[in-house]
Each structure stands twice: as structure tokens, then as C-alpha cells.
Amino acid sequence: MNPEECLSNSVAGATVAVMLFSALLHGCGTAPTFEGGKPPSTARYTTEALMLESPPADEIAQHITYGNKPRPDWWMTFGSAELDGVMRAALAGSPTLATARATLAQAEELLVARRGALFPELTLSASVGRQKLGAQFLGPLVKPPPFTFFSIGPSVSYTLDYAGGVASTIEQQRALAEFQHQQLNAAQLSLTGNVAFQALAIASARAQIAAVETILQRDRDNLDLVRTAFEAGSVSRVDVLAAESQLARDTTLLPPLRQQLSSARHALGALVGEPPGVWSPPDFDLRQFVLPRELPVSLPSELARGRPDILAAEAQIRAATAAAGVATANLYPRITLSASYAQQSTDVSSLVNIANAAWSLIAGLVAPVFNGGRLRAERRAALNALQASASSYQNVVLQAFSQVADALTALDNDADELRAELYALNTAQASADLTRASYQEGVSNLLQVLDADRLVQQARLGSVRAEAQRHLDTVNLFLALGAAPYVVPQGPGESSASGP
């Protein structure tokens, strides 16, 4: 029997042995298959009746339309060109997004590397050396003198993936790459939300500062009025001190608001990727923000397909499923086929000669026989990790539904609060005007004037805060619904910044 026939018989025998061994190990368990996450089956986000679904016909009401998703550039619905400019600057310069993009690129390259295991591995080796054989190495044969040898040639190896271990490894890395992709989308969504929050915080602080400055001017007018009355002898010194005290108390409202404004400006600079000493944000005006009246709201059944954190949790389930497949494949024998060819000679001048050719064909099998239960325990651990990923997915979905419900009910209550604040402001202003006129005619006293002005102050600040809160809660709704990833415009030759 020639060497080729011996090799063929050996490979055939090894294959039969593998099949028998695999049949014995079949009871060790099969790899689990991926099942997509199952969000709760519900037609509504909350059991509460929402006025947003059938709002009153006034200028304050907002209305939700089910079945539509927020646009990728959802911040454009606020009608602020300044907000859009800052948002684009943040998307282009954010260090957080740069980190997420680099992490995604790393995961994608690792996926390419894992895919390489599907193909045979070809290597080229060359060697040169000098060797002397020992006295007993060749037995009775003639002992050669020390000699120099040369060798060069390719070799190829391939691992049969009959148990699916390689495929599961690739699927695991693909799921991890998808996870990083959704992490990038989540980071982008979070960034745009934070930019909007800080821009609205600047606008709100400036509006409140303007309201307080108006209040302070009213306090100064009151103080001038009281001092004039005191000089005329119609009021006492106590009235003057009361007016001065009111002015002093209202003046204390300004420093905290100015600090809020500074903090928001600095935070916005960090989001854009610029230090506060270099970059200054626009002076956002709350009156220039247009509150969206029509609010697109995804159906509950569609929410799980739009929110990046839910899609990331689903990718983790897929990765855990593939990891369990890898652990299952490790229970089976590993078969490796390899072949090599080399030109070997003791004289470099005759190295490339067909007579000096050497080759080998090898079928190798490595089967787990005893490992102290390690492989089975690793498989059980992988299945437990899969169960944990499934439970985590359910928790993420429940949290998402809860956040949407919170945003919807907040907007419902915000409208009522703003109506009440505006009514309180109009009523307080009318009362203050009447009280002031009555005071000038000598009918009312100073205490009544100060009390009336205090109510106007509280109502004016309350209306500003209520209006700002409606904008903030509208942003919260867009974020809770998981607006589609926004593709950052790129220059010629540049890659997309929002991932694949």
C-alpha cells in the first residue's frame, strides 16, 4: 500500500471515529437558537385618559398622533436656527461620540477578524540551520557529518466547523458590533437631548432673570412712591422700611438664576467639545422656541424597534445566545485538516528541485475526555447568562414604556399648569394695578400694594417656569420615543459619523 492510500484510509478512519464520538456526546446538549426580544403586548402607554389625545381648542394645547415616529432632527420642530447650529456643532465635535465611534469601529474590525476563521489559513515558512545528529539517533546507519539545511514552502490548515463553534463565535462578535452600533445611536440621542436641555436651561434662566429684573424695577418704583409719600407725611417710616425690605428680598433672586445661566452655558460648551474659556453659546430666548403642537408618538408595538437601548439589549441577547453556542461546540471533538509542502536541501543551489520536495497531509482530532466538568459548567454558565440577558431586555423595555408614559402625563399636566399660571398672572396683574391706583388715591395701604406685587412676581416666574417645563417635557418625549439616528453631514471623502 502506497503512502497516499495509507493517508486516505487514516482520514476515513478518523472521520468514522468522530461521527461515533459525536453521537455519544449528542446528549450533552444542543446550542440554543436566538429568539428576538418580546416586548409587552399593549395598545397604550398608560391606563390614564390623556387630554393630549383630544385636547381643547386653545393656543396652549398639544396633540399626539399615534403611529408616527419623531423625525431624526427632532429639535428642528422647535423652530430655532440657533439650536440647530449648536446641535450640529455638538454632533461634529463631541468627545463622547468620538469615543463611541472608535469603539464601534473596533468591534467591526474584530468581526472581520473572526470571519477569517471560516477560511483555510495559508502560511509560508522558510528556514535555514545547521545540525549534527547524535550517535544513537540513526542506530546502525552511517552517521552523517554536521550539515547545513534549507527549507521553504507553504502550509495550509483548516478547522471543520461541524459543531458550529466558529459560526457561533462570528455571530457573537456580530451581535457585539450591533450592540456598539446601538450604543453609538444611544449616545447620539442622549447628546442631542442634553444639548436641547442646556439650551432651554439658558433660555429659561434668561427669561426668569428678565422677570426678576422687571420685579425689581417695580420694587424700585414702589420704594420711590413710598418715599414720596413719607416726605409728604402720609406714610410712616415703617412703610419705607417695608418697601426697602421687599426690594432687598427680591434682589436675592438674581444670583441663583445667574449661576444657573452660567452652569448651563458651561455645560453646553462641554457638550460641543469646547472649553468655556474659548466658546460661548448663543443667548437663547425662550420666546423664540416654538412649542410643537403636533407630537408624533410611536405605537407601543413599534417602540422596541426604535429605541437604541432596547435594540442594544436585544443585541446582547443575540450575543449571549451565540456564546452558549460556542460553549456547546466546545463539548465536541475538534477536527483540523492540514497540509504542507516544502523544498528541502542541504545545498541552497539545489533547493528548488522536484526531487527535494517534501509534503504532508494530516487530519487531527482533539476530543474532550475529562476536564473536571469545566466544559459542562461553562455551558451552564452561558445559558444562565442568556437568561440574564433576556430578563435585562424585559427590564429595559418596561423602563422605556414607563418613560414614555411619564412624558405623556407630564405634558398633559404641563398644559393645565400653564393655563393656571397664566390665569393667575393676569388676575394678579389686574389686582396689583387696582391696588396701586387705590393706594395713590389713599384708599389702600402700602402693605396691600406689596402683597399684590408679590403675587404678580410669583405668577410671572411661575408662568415662565411652566412654559420652559413644557419645552423640556416635549424633549423628554422625543428622547423616550427613541428618535431615529441622525446622520451627521460629512464633507467629501469623509465617512458617516453615525455608524453603519
Alpha carbon distance 168, 322 (integer Å): 5
Instruction: Provide the pLDDT for residue 38.
Output: 66
Q: Which helix (H) or strand (E) holds 358?
A: strand 357-366
Alpha carbon distance 262, 267 (integer Å): 9
Instruction: Provide the pLDDT for residue 215.
Output: 84
- Give strand pairing partners of 130: 148
Q: Give the residue extent of every domain in the chain.
A: 50-119+171-321+376-481
Is 483 within 8 Å of 474 (Cβ atoms)?
Answer: no
Is 469 within 8 Å of 414 (Cβ atoms)?
Answer: yes
Instruction: Provide the pLDDT for residue 114.
Output: 94
CA proximity to 211, closest of 241, 252, 181, 253? 253
Alpha carbon distance 131, 121 (integer Å): 30
Give the alpha-carbon dihedral of 432, 435, 437, 442, to 10 degrees.
-160
pLDDT 10s per residue in the chain (500 long)?
A: 444 444 344 444 444 444 444 444 444 456 677 666 666 677 788 888 888 888 777 778 899 888 888 889 999 999 999 999 999 999 999 999 999 999 999 999 999 999 999 999 999 999 999 988 887 777 777 878 888 988 999 999 999 999 999 999 999 999 999 999 999 999 999 999 999 999 999 999 999 999 899 888 888 888 888 888 888 887 788 888 988 998 999 899 999 999 999 999 999 999 999 998 889 999 999 999 999 999 999 888 888 888 999 999 999 999 999 999 999 999 999 999 999 999 988 888 888 888 888 999 999 999 999 999 999 999 999 999 999 999 999 999 999 999 999 999 999 999 999 999 999 999 999 998 998 888 778 787 777 877 788 788 888 889 999 999 999 999 999 999 998 777 766 544 444 433 33
Given the DSSP bridges, would you call strands 147-159 and 334-345 parallel, antiparallel or unpaired?
A: antiparallel
Residues 6+ apart with CB under 8 A from 2: none
CA proximity to 22, closest of 160, 169, 157? 160
Alpha carbon distance 281, 270 (integer Å): 11
Q: Exposed, middle or buried: residue 84 (CB in 10 Å: 0-12, 13-18, 19+)? A: middle
Kindly report the number of other CB atoms within 10 A of residue 219's CB atom.
23
CA proximity to 184, closest of 120, 247, 107, 282? 107
CA proximity to 160, closest of 191, 120, 220? 120
Q: Which of helix, strand or coil describes residue 336? A: strand
Alpha carbon distance 371, 330 (integer Å): 12
Instruction: Provide the pLDDT for residue 460.
Output: 87
Is 359 within 8 Å of 342 (Cβ atoms)?
Answer: yes
Which amino acid belongs to residue 312?
Answer: A
Alpha carbon distance 348, 482 (integer Å): 68
Instruction: Provide the pLDDT for residue 16.
Output: 41
Instruction: Provide the pLDDT for residue 25.
Output: 44
DSSP assigned state of 140: T
Instruction: Provide the pLDDT for residue 337.
Output: 94
Record the cell numbers describing residue 441, joined without a space: 388715591
- Tell me phi and psi for residue 341, to 5 degrees: -140, 135
Q: Identify the residue whose cell numbers are 412676581.
A: 457
Tell the CATH topology of 50-119+171-321+376-481: Outer membrane efflux proteins (OEP) (1.20.1600)
Record the cell numbers describing residue 263, joined without a space: 452652569
Alpha carbon distance 41, 43 (integer Å): 7
Angle, alpha carbons 477-480-486 (nearest 5°): 95
Give, in order, the Cα–Cα distances in Å from 18 to each of 129, 165, 169. Answer: 39, 16, 22
Instruction: Provide the pLDDT for residue 489.
Output: 61
Q: Which of helix, strand or coil describes residue 233? A: coil
DSSP assigned state of 274: -
DSSP assigned state of 364: E
Residue 239's Cα: distance from chain center in Å?
59
Kindly report the number of other CB atoms within 10 A of residue 1's CB atom.
7
Alpha carbon distance 285, 272 (integer Å): 19
Is 417 within 8 Å of 473 (Cβ atoms)?
Answer: no
Instruction: Provide the pLDDT for residue 34.
Output: 67
